[in-house]
Amino acid sequence: RLANAVTPLWRLPYQEQLQVKHESQRKVLQTLASRLEELGIGAQKPGGLCCPLQPVVPSPIINGYRNKSTFSVNRGPDGNPKTVGLYVGTGKARNIVCVKANHLENMPPKHKQVAQCYEEFISGSPLDSCILFHAGGHWRELVVRTTSRGHTMAIVTFHPQELGQEALAAQKALLKEFFTSGPGAVCALTSLYFQESTMTRCSHEQSPYQLLQGEPHIFEELCGLKFRISPDAFFQVNTAGAEVLYQAVGKLCQATGDTVLLDICCGTGTIGLSLARQVSQVIGVEVVEKAIEDARWNAAFNGISNCEFHSGKAEAVLPQLLASWEDARPLVAVVNPSRAGLHYRVVRAIRNCGSIRRLLYISCKPEGEAMRNFLELCCPPDPRKKLTGEPFAPVLAVPFDLFPHTVHCELVLLFTR
């Protein structure tokens, strides 16, 4: 049941998985075409699409490709309240159980090993797992991040409840000892982090990541560059697939030596830095402050001096950046937002900046909120919404399989005007 929930295509041969994904992306483009037609924009292309669709670009690695996994702590099928795994079932049906992820094909052995060791540690702890915040308990989720360089970072989330500083310090010491000189030492962790959190999801600003042992960062190589990764920094979950994606983005940008590349939702700067050598300047914007620190470090370490990175919400930073844009150099935008899509103010700033003639929208869920963005980019000007710039039009769609065995796909949609 867990394999079917997390990796629903795991039984299909890989070529068939790619066909399933191609079909789902085709439906996305058909939906966009009909929505644009309702707005009186553009003619449909063959097959009822809004633009040509290329075949799905396969992932170079099919099994064990994930470089990040998040494990929950909850009751297992056997009733053990300290099971470390992933959820099956729904809250609505009240049938949620936590199942060990040992058999999932998209997860590398190292992630499974760290999860197993964490379960062993909390099983021996007198403290309960925190299943419901109000019901007490302490041990919560585990995040494991790995790199192709053999680095492993583990981040343990802990609900302090009423524990004092002395009791907290004792727990941190026990956890550190387990992973450095106890049974957990087999994991050979590069970094062990601890986060005290009273919320479901917590940023470093809300509750700092505390380094218990090892190095503060892990490192990855991508497109011939070295990247530093902080505990909460965004990095594409399939490194080998991301490399193929970024190389294609470079070609689709058609950037020349005098181009300025605007990298919106830039994370640790991977896209902008990988393309920095073929453009005159890169401007990155990202909400996670630690990721921007990483991006600046990555630029300096790789000897790249034509990049500037801005920390803050894109909807606050970008309108200011573009409102006074008078640079004569061609401006190409690449956006890679979360599933929530771009804030309307970001779309408006892009639309109203006449210098941007080419836009690449990278979406991991194009049928979701991204669809709203596509329509906002392409709709006729609307003075009431302060949308005065001329509309974009979709001209090419290229799907990338960054998530083998799942139904998800990364879609790159090229817009021009």
How far apart CA 339 and CA 333 sit, in angstroms, is 18
How far apart CA 309 and CA 306 sit, in angstroms, is 10
Report the amino acid identity of residue 305. S
Residue 364 designated active-site? yes
By CB atoms closer than 10 A (0-12, 13-18, 19+), residue 318 is buried
**CB under 8 Å to 403, separation ≥6 — which residues?**
59, 106, 237, 238, 409, 410
CA 133 vs. chain centroid, Å, equals 27
How far apart CA 68 and CA 221 sit, in angstroms, is 15
| H-only helix segments in 71-215 | 109-123, 165-180
Four-point Cα dihedral 201, 264, 324, 377, nearest 10: -100
User: Is 236 known to sit in a ligand binding site?
Assistant: yes
- Whether 158 and 122 have beta carbons less than 8 Å apart is answered as no
Q: What pairs with residue 332 in β-bridges?
A: 261, 358
Selection from 86, 92, 91, 121 nearest residue 3 by Cα: 86
Q: What is the DSSP letter of 381?
A: P
How far apart CA 92 and CA 86 sit, in angstroms, is 17
- Whether 68 and 237 have beta carbons less than 8 Å apart is answered as yes
Number of helices (H) and strands (E) in the chain: give both, helices first.
Answer: 10, 16
User: Is 17 known to sit in a ligand binding site?
Assistant: no
How far apart CA 225 and CA 140 sit, in angstroms, is 35
User: Is 298 known to sit in a ligand binding site?
Assistant: no
How far apart CA 74 and CA 84 sit, in angstroms, is 7
- Whether 309 and 276 have beta carbons less than 8 Å apart is answered as no
| Residue whose pair of structure tokens reads 């003639």 in the numeric block | 357
Residue 324 has a CB neighbour count (10 Å cut-off) of 7
Q: Which among 187, 353, 364, 379 is annotated as catalytic? A: 364
Selection from 330, 280, 334 nearest residue 304 by Cα: 280
| Residue whose pair of structure tokens reads 């524990």 in the numeric block | 163
Sequence ranges of the binding site for S-adenosyl-L-methionine:
236, 286, 336
Sequence ranges of the binding site:
236, 286, 336
Q: List the catalytic residues.
A: 364
